[in-house]
Amino acid sequence: MKNRAVFLDKDGTLIEDVPYNVDPQRIRLTVGAGDGLRQVQQLGYQLIVISNQSGVARGYFPESALTAVEARLQELLEPFDVLLDGFYYCPHHPDGTVMEYAIACHCRKPEPGLLLQAAGDRAIDLTQSWFVGDILNDVEAGRRVGCQTILINNGNETEWLLSSERVPHFLAKDLAEAAHIIK
C-alpha cells in the first residue's frame, strides 16, 4: 500500500474554532473528531494537520506557542488511540505586523505548499490522500495537489467564492461523518 494521508484543517475542523487561540486549556475537539480519526487511522491513513496560523504574523502570539497547541492536540486524541503523524502550519500573512512573517508565501492555504512539504517529508501519495476542512481554501489546497476533498459544512465558510478548484468532492457535517466517506 502506498503512503497515504488524511490532511486536516485544525480550527473549525479538528478543534472548536476559537480565533487565534493558543491556550491549551481552551482547546476542545469538535464533535466526532476522536472517533472519526480513529476509524480513518485504522484504515492505514497518516493523520496530518495543515493549518494557517496568521496570529504569528499579526503579532498575537509567538510561533513557539504552537508547540503547546500540538502537544494539547496529541493529549486530547490519546484517549481515542489516535496519534497525529504531522503538524504543519503557515505563520505568514501578507498584512502581518511582524516583518519576518509579513509575506505572501506558498504555504498559506489555499496555496499547496504545506501539503507538498508533508508529502515530501513523509513519502505520501497525494492522489491517494484526502483533505478535510471547513472552508473552501482547504478544499482548494487539497484539489490543487490531487487529493479528494471533504468540506465540513458547519457554517464556517462565509465567502463561497466558487471555482472548479473550490468545489468539494464531498460534504460532511463533522469528522465522524467524513470518516464514513473516506475509503
138 in catalytic set? no
Distance CA 171, CA 181 (A): 9
Given 11, 134, 138, 174, which residue is catalytic? 11
CA dihedral over 52, 55, 59, 62, signed as positive or negative: negative
Given 9, 134, 138, 174, which residue is catalytic? 9
* CB crowding 16-47: b at 16 or more within 10 Å, else e: eeeeebbeeeebebbebbbbbbbbbbeeebbb
Q: Is 163 helix (H, G, I), strand (E, B) or coil?
A: coil
35 in catalytic set? no
Distance CA 72, CA 81 (A): 14
- Return the active site residues: 9, 11
